[in-house]
A and B are shown apart, each in its own frame.
Chain A
Amino acid sequence: KNEVEQSPQNLTAQEGEFITINCSYSVGISALHWLQQHPGGGIVSLFMLSSGKKKHGRLIATINIQEKHSSLHITASHPRDSAVYICAVRLVQGAQKLVFGQGTRLTINP
């Protein structure tokens, strides 16, 4: 079993829909990252969080440390949100090593 599990693996939705991507992990962490990988391959860091919630534009990330679970939400989804979304956790306080989930491929149709 992977230390970081994402669901769903693939998600197709219509423009405007509310999107939720989930990430569960089985180990103690000091931080969790959400990354976006564009169809061209580039990777961008969206959020880094260790508690609570963060919001950036139409993107919202939440984390529940007790339940070892995080969600990434996209409001008013748009075709340009189509990408692979990757959850990654930092395992040990002060260490910089990230362990990655397998990613969720999101496709937003117009």
Chain B
Amino acid sequence: DAGVIQSPRHEVTEMGQEVTLRCKPISGHDYLFWYRQTMMRGLELLIYFNNNVPIDDSGMPEDRFSAKMPNASFSTLKIQPSEPRDSAVYFCASSRLPGQGKGETQYFGPGTRLLVL
């Protein structure tokens, strides 16, 4: 399996621009997670989906952030408009349904390093 795939790997943009981050989870996984990592706050959960349905979006900073999962193999995280404080590494992760043999290990993608100037 190719693992969790994220694109782009790096993104540099100017304040006010729209940014779209993409994620392809591992095939057969039921859960998809979006995380943000910064030096100051470490890793934080932004939102997660179960079977394409958003379950907990309490970590989404504000209305400028939105996430969608139109099907089981694709999710996007959008920031509009972007601000310099959004600069961070954004990770996508996926996992199976709890109890199905492999348990609840989360498999992380390589991350997207975002810099907003």
Contact = CB atoms under 8 A, between A and B. Distances in A.
Interface in B38-69: 42-45, 48, 50, 55-56
Interface string B6-45: 0000000000000000000000000101000000001111
- Counting chain A residues whose Cβ lies within 8 A of the other chain, the interface size class is 20 to 34
Interface string A20-62: 0000000000010101000001111100100000000000000
A1 interface: no
A54 B48 CA distance: 27
Interface of B: 31, 33, 42-45, 48, 50, 55-56, 89, 91, 93, 95, 98, 103-108, 110-111, 113
A7 interface: no
A80 B97 CA distance: 32
B112 to A, nearest CB: 10
Most chain-A CB neighbours within 10 Å: which of B42, B48, B89, B105? B42
B108 A96 contact: no
A96 to B, nearest CB: 6
Q: Main secondary structure on chain A at its contact with chain B?
A: strand
A43 B91 contact: yes
Nearest to A43: B108
B56 A97 contact: yes
Contacts of B111: 41-43
B40 to A, nearest CB: 10
A86 interface: yes
Given A41-B89, A86-B43, 7 more contacts: A31-B104, A43-B111, A97-B45, A97-B56, A98-B106, A100-B42, A100-B43
